[in-house]
Amino acid sequence: MNRRFLVPAAVLPALSSFPLTITGASVALPDLTGDLGVSPTGAQWVVTGYNLCFAAFLAFGGSLADRLGRRRLYVAGVAAFLVGSVLCALARDVGVLVAARLLAGTGAAVATATGQSLLAATFDGAARTRVFGALGTVLGAGLAFGPTISGFLVDAVGWRAVFGVPAVLAALSLLLCPALPAGPGAGRGEVDWLGGVLFTLGLGAVIWVFVEAPALGPAHPAVLAVGAVAVGGAVGFVRVERRRSAPVFDLALLRDRAFLGYSLVAAALMGLLVPLLVYLPSYLIDVVGLEPARAGLWMLVLTVPSVLLPGPGAAVARRSPRLLATGAVLVASVGVVSLVATGPAGPPWLSLLLVGTGVGLTTGVVDGLAVSSAPADRAGTAAGLFNTARLATETVALATAGSVLTALSGGHLVGDGFTEALRVVVLGLGCCGVVAAVGANALLRRGN
């Protein structure tokens, strides 16, 4: 009973701070860029750098957790996130801020993969479903109230405060970590260090190209060189993983259609949601003319369903997981496409509500369905792989959206140029969401 109380108490607060960091940075971005004199590309790295490291280290973090022990990796991840968040709050130039965001993203990745595997190893059956439902509520709360809390913090204290609240939550989790089950790993000799480095290098190079190519030009020597690194990293990773007895990516999981289907659903929903979470507050502040606090209140229409709907989503999942998964992606995609009506008066309320509903119904629920499809001793690897698919897609979508917005608006995210660029982005995102829903439906139908 004590363990079943202490494990969620130690894991959930820290995991709630990770989405809060994403949404907080998006609301703080206008004030932050003005205070530090950040360029449009630098502003992209403040947001994208965190997501990049989050995505790059998730699978590797899960793999390490299964081999080196979940508790020690969880403590290391939360501690790294805490240090990174504190450095963000103290940063005096954009270089330090971006470096701190990279550290925080790395820590968040390791803590997320190991935290989910701790929950999966502690609970089973109906109890596991309930605890992952609670995880969904906690994650939803971070997404839902992050923009509002951050908006009030920016107005009352300044942009640095938005990095202080997640640091406090991480510190509280660290205080409870000694009560977590130690859980010895499977052995140090089986860690796929080379595979983890190649994957991280390849993904980082891909994101760099997406962010920097619009400003430098696709034929710039640096873009071509980093593009070659991305291709080389991908080819090397595949070759290395084929020869590993314990690879970063479990090939058996990749052959599981149900696991792939749920991963595609989660990836598509985050690819639809996160670009809106990051760039819509800037639009409301710089184009619509709202104060940060009021912009945060507007974002509640998009985010509150993530708090209210995981419970109903879990109930639907018990009857028809495929209906929940594919239906949620379609609803969110329709909402994103309908945002083409966005203008200086503000985004359509119904559009934001549709996107939020699609995401809210699956928050945490799809995580549980995907992780539960893996054997218990591979729960960390499954959680890492699942979240890598979600975060990698989210990061690519975020980098692409930022680059398109910057290019179409002439490098100035203000006025009519920002409006027209935003309309192009939401139309493209929505169409990709529909394609993902069709693909996920086919995978889940065959998988079941």
As a whole number, the mean pLDDT across the chain is: 83
pTM for the structure as a whole: 0.78
Task: Tell me the C-alpha distance between 80 and 75, whole Å.
Answer: 9
Supply the pLDDT for residue 379.
67
Query: At residue 314, what is the residue type?
Result: A
Supply the pLDDT for residue 314.
87
Name the more confident of 136 and 87: 87
Contact 24, 162 (CB under 8 A): yes
* pLDDT tens column, 155-211: 888 888 889 888 988 998 888 888 777 665 555 556 677 887 888 888 888 888 888
Name the more confident of 276 and 13: 276
Task: Tell me the C-alpha distance between 245 and 248, whole Å.
Answer: 10
Question: What is the SS3 assignment for 279-297?
Answer: HHHHHHHHHHCCCHHHHHH
* pLDDT tens column, 309-355: 888 988 898 888 899 999 999 999 999 999 998 888 877 888 999 99
Residue 412: pLDDT above 80?
A: no
Supply the pLDDT for residue 352.
92
Supply the pLDDT for residue 87.
94
Supply the pLDDT for residue 252.
66
Residue range 264-269: average pLDDT?
93
By the 10 Å C-beta count (0-12 exposed, 13-18 middle, 19+ buried), 194 is classed as: middle
Question: Per-residue confidence at 148, pLDDT binned at 50, 70, 90?
Answer: confident
Which two three-digit tokens encode residue 428?
């493209």
Question: Per-residue confidence at 375, pLDDT binned at 50, 70, 90?
Answer: low
